[in-house]
Amino acid sequence: MPVGTAWEHVPGLQACQLALSTRTVWARCPNGDLARRYGVTDKNPAGDYWKKIPGSVACFTVTASDELWAVGPPGYLLRRLTKTFSHSHGTQKSSQAAMPHPEDLEDEWEVI
């Protein structure tokens, strides 16, 4: 079982709320912006960089399967929608698409 021995500063933005799924870290900034941390792995637990997503929220949570839920102004319940786009490689002879990278996802909010 891993035991923490020190804190590591993760640069890039100021956060006032964090939420963790099994795959990533989400942060809410003081102005309500949301950002996702990319490059988080077992060997790189701090990840590589933050990427902000559109919208502003008062608070949020994320499920273990990375479904994002939030309360936005003026109190609407929001759920983040994610579409996965596959890419074909011209050098491949089969019609199978490569697995998308997290950066290749298009996101939108759904008002509940």
Supply the pLDDT for residue 33.
95
Supply the pLDDT for residue 51.
95
Report the SS3 class of residue 63: coil
Supply the pLDDT for residue 101.
47
Distance CA 25, CA 85 (A): 22
- What are the domain boundaries of the chain? 17-111
pLDDT tens, per residue, the chain with 112 residues: 778 899 999 999 999 999 998 888 999 999 999 999 999 998 998 999 999 999 899 999 999 888 999 999 889 999 998 766 666 555 444 444 444 444 444 567 667 6
Supply the pLDDT for residue 112.
66
Instruction: List own/partner pairs for 48-57 with CB under 8 A and 24 or more apart.
Output: 49/12, 50/12, 50/13, 51/103, 52/13, 53/80, 53/107, 54/107, 54/109, 55/109, 56/31, 56/32, 57/28, 57/32
Say if residues 34 and 46 touch (Cβ distance below 8 Å).
Answer: no
